[in-house]
């Protein structure tokens, strides 16, 4: 088995914060050559130095900007769609503009990036792997998460269609579905015991995920060790979706 990604060129979106940043660091440790997309130019500059990555400041909701970025993209072996947003509201307070924004980022933008990456891989004769960072929210109803749940369920559905269409080209496509993952932002958001404790009680392992516990399964799915896995949605949730 080979979990290394030596000399594999992998594009990661949402790479300047949260889970995406930890994925980028883990892939670099495993020898990947990285292309990192984000909107924070200062962090991108730091990652260019620390990880030796090629970095691109791109708003992935801007299709023209995505197309331009791929016009000079080096040959790719993999893609991680990690850019995403969440706007939380109870059903009775949901706003159409918020739903549109969530879907535009989590679904449409990921589909456009995937389209361009797949075209690029095929044109360069590369077979490889695409991993979509979804959520347990795709598999279970969460109060206040209507738009987010819908967007991540759409991402899982997209994963299956991409698996079907890109498999004959030698490109595997999978999703990972994390539970609450303790990025700095999540640590602040879940600090209130009244919010935190009921969620922890619903996770059989009794704890939240660390970013690295999400990053390493992503690396596995990108690697040749997962060469026969495609179309899967992998819960990384401590058992949350088992009941």
DSSP letter, residue 205: T
Q: Which of 2-6, 9-13, 153-157, 192-196 has the lowest mean pLDDT?
A: 2-6
The residue annotated as part of the active site, out of 25, 95, 97, 148, is: 148
User: What residues have CB less than 8 Å from 158, skipping those under 6 apart?
Assistant: 107, 110, 111, 114, 132
Query: What is the predicted pLDDT for the residue at 152?
Result: 98
The residue annotated as part of the active site, out of 25, 97, 152, 195, is: 152
Q: How far apart are CA 221 and CA 186, in angstroms?
A: 25
Report CA-CA distances (Å) from 54 to 32, 37, 73, 74.
12, 9, 10, 10
pTM of whole model > 0.85? yes
User: What residues have CB less than 8 Å from 185, skipping those under 6 apart?
Assistant: 17, 18
Q: Each residue of 176-228: pLDDT tens digit?
A: 999 999 999 999 999 999 999 999 999 999 999 999 999 999 999 999 999 99
What is the C-alpha radius of gyration for the chain, rounded to an integer number of angstroms? Answer: 17
Q: Are 198 and 101 in contact (CB under 8 A)?
A: no
* Strand partners for 10: 34, 78
For residue 2, name the pLDDT band (cuts at 50, 70, 90): low
SS percent in the chain: helix, strand, coil, step 5: 50, 15, 35
Report CA-CA distances (Å) from 61 to 88, 104, 110.
20, 6, 9
Residues in the chain: 243
Mean pLDDT over 78-105 rounds to: 96
Query: What is the predicted pLDDT for the residue at 4?
Result: 78
Annotated catalytic, 97?
no
Average pLDDT value over all residues in the chain:
96
Q: How far apart are CA 175 and CA 177, in angstroms?
A: 7
**Under CATH, which architecture does the 9-180+211-242 domain have?**
3-Layer(aba) Sandwich (3.40)
- On the question of pLDDT at 165 being above 80, the answer is yes
- On the question of pLDDT at 91 being above 60, the answer is yes
Annotated catalytic, 148?
yes
Q: Each residue of 155-164: pLDDT tens digit?
A: 999 999 999 9
Q: Each residue of 25-43: pLDDT tens digit?
A: 999 999 999 999 999 999 9
């Amino acid at each position: 088995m080979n979990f290394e990604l030596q000399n594999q060129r992998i594009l990661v979106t949402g790479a300047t914060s949260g889970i995406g940043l930890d994925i980028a660091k883990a892939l670099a440790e495993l020898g990947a050559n990285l292309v990192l997309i984000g909107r924070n130019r200062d962090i991108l500059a730091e990652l260019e130095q620390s990880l030796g990555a090629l970095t691109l400041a791109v708003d992935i909701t801007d299709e023209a900007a995505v197309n331009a970025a791929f016009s000079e993209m080096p040959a790719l072996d993999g893609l991680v769609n990690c850019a995403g947003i969440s706007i939380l509201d109870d059903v009775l307070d949901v706003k159409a503009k918020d739903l549109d924004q969530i879907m535009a980022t989590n679904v449409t933008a990921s589909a456009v990036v995937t389209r361009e990456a797949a075209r690029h891989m095929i044109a360069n004769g590369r077979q490889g792997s695409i991993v979509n960072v979804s959520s347990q929210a795709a598999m279970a109803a969460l109060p206040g998460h209507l738009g987010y749940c819908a967007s991540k369920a759409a991402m899982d559905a997209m994963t299956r269609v991409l698996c079907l269409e890109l498999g004959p080209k030698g490109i595997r496509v999978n999703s990972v579905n994390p539970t609450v993952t303790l990025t700095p932002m999540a640590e602040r958001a879940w600090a209130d015991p009244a919010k935190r404790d009921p969620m922890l009680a619903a996770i059989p392992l009794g704890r939240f995920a660390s970013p690295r516990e999400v990053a390493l399964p992503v690396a596995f799915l990108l690697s040749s060790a997962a060469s026969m896995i495609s179309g899967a949605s992998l819960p990384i949730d401590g058992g949350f979706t088992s009941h």
